[in-house]
Amino acid sequence: MSWFTFSWQNFLFSFLALAFEGLPFVLVGSLISGAIAAFVPSRIITGVLPKNGYLATLASGLLGLCFPVCECGIVPVVRRLINKGLPVSCGVTFMLASPIVNPIVAFSTFAAFRGQAPWLNVSVRLGFGYLIAVLAGFSVRRFSPKEILREGAVKIPSRKRLAFQISPLPDAVLNDLESGFVQKLIAAVRMACDDFIDTAIYFMIGAAVAATFNTAVDQQVILPLALDPTLSTIAMMAIATVLTLCSTSDAFIAATFVSFPLFARMAFMVFGPMFDLKLFFLYSVLFKKRFVIGLGIGLFLAIGIISSRFLIYLYASQGL
Amino acid sequence: MRAKASDILNGLTLVGVGIVLLDFFFTGRLDPYLHPQFRPFTPIAGVIFCTIGLVYAAAKPGAGCCVDGECIHENATSPLRSVVAMLLLFAPLAAGVALSKDSFDQQAVLNRGFVQDITKLPVHVNTGGPEQQVDQAIPPEALGADKDGVASQPLPQDTSAAPTNGVAAGGDQPDQANPAVPNGGDGSAQYLPKAPDGNVALEVTDLLYAEQEESLRKIVGGKTIEVVGQYLPSADTKQFKLVRMFIVCCAADARPVALPVEASGQMNVSEMGWIRVTGKAAFTQIGDRTHVVMKADKVESIDPPPEAMLY
């Protein structure tokens, strides 16, 4: 049997399933983004975070606990927050952490790994996800916003508003132009629609690529990789990349890969919500392609090394 | 003028996406695509898409997008962008309405590979209690369990209200841990779901679970059973697989589970066509594992069941 066999029937079925599952979440993210843009003053966005850049980055990784947004909806929210004055490092940390460090994912991970050390797996997943997101945020601080943000995706005015410092934009323009609630509401809807269109286009491209892989490629070709720690970790992250699962439910899939060790499945559950085919295109809405590729490689290496070199001992010490 | 044309196109795209979502939901076509937990989001999103699409199209051109000097949308007023958005967002969904067969063919099943150990399938948390469940036909009462899994109460006498989605009878609940698990000879079979013709109606997963669970084997052994699934032929004309797809979130993560069936006579069924197999389950020990084979007395084509997927 060939390793690649394309069928329109299978492609359409898988593609539409991904679209039906993901589009409502992209919509929610866009609506939140529009509401933030129209109703939330910049000073509030930046006011809730510590003034110190490092502490702000650390705090951003925990925003998902009270503001859970899945990876499908996170990009428009982050773009809007950055445009409102959120430092890029905080935006990146929030973007990577929120799909993992949130109560819904904790609950679903616990449920999926019932009988397979659920408390340990929940703790490791949230802690590992937070650590990686914060490390990525700290790394981003080394770059200038113009180096990583896509031109036009976020306004970076010439006035002093370095994206690595807390310095909110004045909201006077919005307040003067759109003083009434109804006008603000219409503005929020319009901005949400434009955000949705920008984001959903990339989501659909990612869903199409994932659907092709899911249905046309013989999945058995990757199973022999499960026996080696490094290869199994790489394989699970590669699977996460192409399956493009929602972080709220990917633990149920990870739990089924019983032939793979737990540390490799943890790499799947941390890398997948941070970077997959769909997210590659979604991140391209906000960031330059070069940065997105670099981010993917960095996350792949960091998560892969920590999983296969450190988590392997953690699980072994627990007899798992 | 360009801005208004762009607004109208974008609004139509959003309304179109909303109509597709609503169409799939209200015609029931959505069911094989999504796990029931995800389905309620679809009509809600559909209504919101239609509403915001109309607002977008009707609003004053350029109003509020975004605010002075702050627009982050590329070519927000360009009709070309709107056409591209329509082609990438609405057109694929519309094509799906017209062309999708709402199911996988044989190739997708073969590419994904069959689940080898049914007890490793993921399970969703039952919101009504602490137990986990998979979509099984055998009610917990047939296994002697009550809803909290303690089995401390007498077995119910009225089976008409017994839930069809029972507690998983997999490796998590060995009968040794539950002294009330019947041995098949104490009348527990009365709790098994029955088909209209009186045969025991089971799911593919029930029989695969029985490979791991002796109490289940005792209950179903020797009884005439009906199982519904999709026909997957094999090289041996006297054998085929009865396939069901198990999904966690959506059809994109579907995993095939298969029950081997032995049947004599000519099969006149299309590949992946829906069939009902009537016969008896035979369990054989090979090494340290028990394997099930359905010995079919009758194989008949049927319409797809209301829930084509297992959850």
Q: Is B28 exposed, middle or buried (0-12, 13-18, 19+ CB in 10 A)?
A: exposed
Assess whether pLDDT exceeds 60 at residue A177. no
Report the range of poorest mean pLDDT among A291-305, B99-113, B147-161: B147-161
Assess whether pLDDT exceeds 50 at residue A259. yes
pLDDT at A93: 96
pLDDT tens digits for range A87-141: 899 999 999 999 999 888 898 888 778 777 889 999 999 999 999 999 999 999 9
Assess whether pLDDT exceeds 80 at residue B162. no
Please give, rounded to a whole number of angstroms, the shortest distance from the CA of B139 to a CA of chain A. 21
Chain A positions touching B30 (Cβ under 8 A) are 20
**Residues B195, B139: one domain?**
yes
* B214 within some domain: yes
Three-state secondary structure call for residue B310: strand
Q: How far is CA B299 from CA A152, A215, B23, in A?
A: 62, 29, 34
* B103 within some domain: no
Residue with tokens 């286009």: A201
Residue B227, φ and ψ in degrees, nearest 5: -130, 140
Residue ranges in chain A assigned as alpha helix (H):
8-39, 42-47, 53-60, 71-83, 88-97, 103-112, 118-140, 145-148, 172-177, 181-216, 229-243, 250-254, 262-274, 277-283, 289-306, 312-317
Q: Which run of H or of E encompasses B292?
A: strand B289-301
**Residues B93, B236: one domain?**
no
pLDDT at B76: 60
Residue B55 to residue B311: CA distance in whole angstroms: 38
pLDDT at A184: 83
Please give, rounded to a whole number of angstroms, the shortest distance from the CA of B288 to a CA of chain A. 18
Assess whether pLDDT exceeds 60 at residue B136. no
pLDDT at B44: 97
pLDDT tier at B253 (50, 70, 90 boundaries)?
A: confident
User: Which of B55, B79, B98 is a domain's end point?
Assistant: B98
Three-state secondary structure call for residue B299: strand
* Residue of higher predicted confidence among A160 and A189: A189
From A112, A195, A214, residue closest to B122, measured CB to CB: A112
pLDDT tens digits for range A56-88: 999 999 988 877 777 877 888 888 888 888 889
Residue A28 to residue A55: CA distance in whole angstroms: 29
Chain A positions touching B112 (Cβ under 8 A) are 219
User: Which of B43, B67, B98 is a domain's end point?
Assistant: B98
CB-based contact A191 B64, cutoff 8 Å: yes
Please compute the mean of the pLDDT values over residues A154-177 and round it to a whole number. 43
Contacts of A319 (CB under 8 A, 6+ apart): none
User: Which of B78, B98, B118 is a domain's end point?
Assistant: B98
C-beta separation of A252 from A112 below 8 A: yes
**Residues B117, B94: one domain?**
no
Chain B positions touching A197 (Cβ under 8 A) are 10, 13-14, 73, 81, 85, 89
pLDDT at B123: 56
pLDDT at A239: 87
**Residues B90, B175: one domain?**
no
pLDDT tier at A155 (50, 70, 90 boundaries)?
A: low
pLDDT at B62: 52
B128 touches chain A (CB under 8 A): no
Chain A positions touching B248 (Cβ under 8 A) are 249, 252-253
* B58 within some domain: yes
Residue B77 to residue B4: CA distance in whole angstroms: 8
Report the range of poorest mean pLDDT among A153-162, A283-292, B197-206, B278-287: A153-162
Please compute the mean of the pLDDT values over residues A198-209 and round it to a whole number. 82
C-beta separation of B139 from A246 below 8 A: no
**Residues B235, B291: one domain?**
yes
Report the range of poorest mean pLDDT among A239-243, B219-223, B236-240, B263-267: B263-267
Query: Peptide bond preceding B249: is omega within 30 degrees of 0, i.e. cis?
Result: no
Q: CA nearest B184: which of B262, B281, B294?
A: B281
Q: CA nearest B174: which of B192, B193, B155, B149?
A: B149
Please give, rounded to a whole number of angstroms, the shortest distance from the CA of B143 to a CA of chain A. 21
What does the CA dihedral B167, B168, B169, B174 come to, rounded to 10 degrees? -90
Three-state secondary structure call for residue B241: strand
C-beta separation of A188 from A35 below 8 A: yes
Assess whether pLDDT exceeds 50 at residue B107. yes
Report the range of poorest mean pLDDT among A193-207, A252-266, B142-156, B266-280: B142-156
pLDDT at A212: 87
Q: Which residue ranges make up each domain of chain A?
A: 8-317
Residue A287, φ and ψ in degrees, nearest 5: -115, 160
From B41, B49, B63, residue closest to A186, measured CB to CB: B63
- Those of residues 175-214 in A touching chain B at CB distance below 8 A are 177-178, 183, 186-198, 200-201, 204-205, 208, 210-211, 214
What does the CA dihedral A254, A258, A264, A265 come to, rounded to 10 degrees? 20
**Residues B23, B148: one domain?**
no
Residue B244 to residue B141: CA distance in whole angstroms: 25
CATH number at residue B112: 2.40.50.140
Percentage of the residues of chain A whose pLDDT score is greater than 70: 89
Residue A144 to residue B78: CA distance in whole angstroms: 30
C-beta separation of A123 from A151 below 8 A: no
pLDDT tier at B188 (50, 70, 90 boundaries)?
A: low
Assess whether pLDDT exceeds 60 at residue A142. yes
Please compute the mean of the pLDDT values over residues A288-301 and round it to a whole number. 96
Q: CA nearest A254: which of A243, A266, A246?
A: A266
pLDDT at B167: 33
In chain A the first and final C-alpha atoms are separated, in Å, by 36
pLDDT tier at B224 (50, 70, 90 boundaries)?
A: very high
* Residue of higher predicted confidence among B144 and B58: B58
**Residues B116, B86: one domain?**
no
C-beta separation of A235 from A268 below 8 A: no
pLDDT at B179: 39
Q: Is A172 exposed, middle or buried (0-12, 13-18, 19+ CB in 10 A)?
A: exposed
Percentage of the residues of chain B whose pLDDT score is greater than 70: 71
pLDDT tier at B176 (50, 70, 90 boundaries)?
A: very low
Number of residues written out for chain B? 311
Dihedral sign computed on CA atoms, order A185, A191, A192, A197: positive
Chain A positions touching B255 (Cβ under 8 A) are 256
Residue A134, φ and ψ in degrees, nearest 5: -65, -40
Chain A positions touching B24 (Cβ under 8 A) are 20
pLDDT at B178: 39
* B35 within some domain: yes
pLDDT at A256: 63
Q: What is the number of H-type helices and E-type strands within chain B?
A: 7, 9
> What's chain B's average pLDDT?
78
pLDDT at B17: 97
The reported pTM is: 0.77
Which residues constitute the domain of residue B195?
108-310
Residue with tokens 């819904």: A104
What does the CA dihedral B62, B67, B68, B74 come to, rounded to 10 degrees? -70
Total structural domains within chain B:
2
